[in-house]
A = this chain, B = another copy of it.
Amino acid sequence: MTDEENGEWNFASDNVAPVAPEIMAAIVESNSGSVSSYGSDPWSAKLTARLREVFETDLVAYPVATGTAANALALSVITPSYGSIICAQDAHINTDECGAPEFYTAGAKLIGLPSTDGKMSVDLLEKTIAQKRTEGLQTAQPHAVSITQSTEWGVVYDTAHITAISGIAAANDISLHMDGARFANGLVRLGCSPAEMTWKAGVDALSFGATKNGAMAAEMVIIFDRGRTGGLAARHKRAGHLWSKARFLSAQLIAYLENDLWLRNAATSNAMAQRLARGLSGIAGVHLIHPVQANQVFATMPQAAIDAITTARFRFAQWTRGPLGEGALLRFVTSYSTTQSAVDALISCTKAAMIANGTVAGIKFEAI
């Protein structure tokens, strides 16, 4: 019934993975007896305390089940209905959430900037804000900037870059949101502290993801400035994201943060992506498209290789429209549950296809 039972190896996304055993255990363990509902339970209290430790600051956090909810709620707190949100053109909030930010903000406009590997250019951000300011009332004025860490293309902002962006934003009285659906993957890559990657770098609002890194369905909206959380509690409730049995959201997140599970999981998935990237990059005809810094590998490969891995039931995502062939951009995502053997099998299969195909020089593969 699952992919593995079907003989498949699933690299299509990190959200095809099951729940990490530690988190499932925590859910089961929290299921004893009655507790107060709507967040007045012991788990929810503990979670908030734990978050303050992890981020080394006071903060306000609301758990939700999806990243779309976290992003849309966070943006609705910092963007009025008549404002706009500057993001990378390929940002998940702009392309994959079916207009969630527009819904939650009651009609704010997203301004998508061309980007490199999903990273926003500081210079272009500055120019865009300046241009918008001259347009005055004619246009929805920017009130928020949103960046994704790690980006939709598997690349990681360094803290200097984030700080530069937040500097431009702050100078224009604009708030900075970070879509952290793959927050831990970025954090592990940088090796810095959660504080350094967020509020110390000028992030005002954070979508803190856990689902893609082992949770069942758990993310958080985190606002670092307690004076600017206006309405978040009410927005969270009226959007239908306040669970009555809230302990089951909080328990996931506590387990996620316990014993560095989140960091260990992210380290695993990052390492698997590195291994895959190294393996694929050695194969003639296979081209990696973006630097591999987190847990996503984007590549193009010859038809023969695509056919081979498809036949061998490796699952991946086609990231461009049109026929699944030579020009198609393929996405391979690793997760905490991706095994070394699965990665190696994928690499071997690709390599074998290219050798069999005869288009690859023999020399290159002699050593294999």
**Which A residues are within 8 Å of any B CB, using their own CB?**
1-5, 8, 10, 12-13, 15-19, 24, 27-28, 31-38, 42, 64-73, 80-84, 95-100, 102-103, 105-110, 130-131, 134-135, 137-141, 211-212, 216-217, 230-231, 233-235, 237-245, 248-249, 321, 337
Contact = CB atoms under 8 A, between A and B. Distances in A.
A105 B107 CA distance: 8
A241 B240 contact: yes
Given A65-B217, A245-B15, A99 B3 contact: no
A34 B11 CA distance: 9
Given A95-B138, A99-B238, A13 B37 contact: yes
A16 B34 contact: yes
Contact of A217 (B70, B96, B140, B248): B248
Contacts of A80: 230-231
A73 B34 CA distance: 29
Given A17-B34, A19-B245, A82-B98, 8 more contacts: A19-B31, A66-B243, A68-B240, A68-B242, A98-B234, A102-B102, A102-B238, A103-B239
Contacts of A18: 31-34
Contacts of A72: 238, 240
Contact of A35 (B2, B34, B230): B2
A20 to B, nearest CB: 9
Contact of A321 (B64, B65, B134): B134
Given A33-B5, A234-B141, A243 B99 contact: no
Contact of A66 (B33, B135, B231, B241): B241
A337 to B, nearest CB: 7
Contact of A140 (B3, B234, B244): B234
Contact of A103 (B81, B96, B98): B81
A177 B38 CA distance: 25
- Taken together, the copies of this chain in the complex come to 4
Contacts of A97: 138, 237-238, 240
B31 A10 contact: no
Contacts of A249: 217
Contact of A95 (B70, B71, B139): B139
Contact of A107 (B5, B102, B212, B321): B102
Contacts of A134: 321
Contact of A237 (B5, B98, B238): B98
Nearest to A69: B240
A66 to B, nearest CB: 5
B16 A24 contact: no
A106 B106 contact: yes
Nearest to A138: B96
Contacts of A73: 240
B12 A248 contact: no
A238 B66 contact: no
A329 to B, nearest CB: 14
A86 to B, nearest CB: 14
Most B-side CB within 10 Å, residue of A31, A81, A108, A217: A81
Contacts of A130: 321
B66 A240 contact: yes
A275 to B, nearest CB: 18
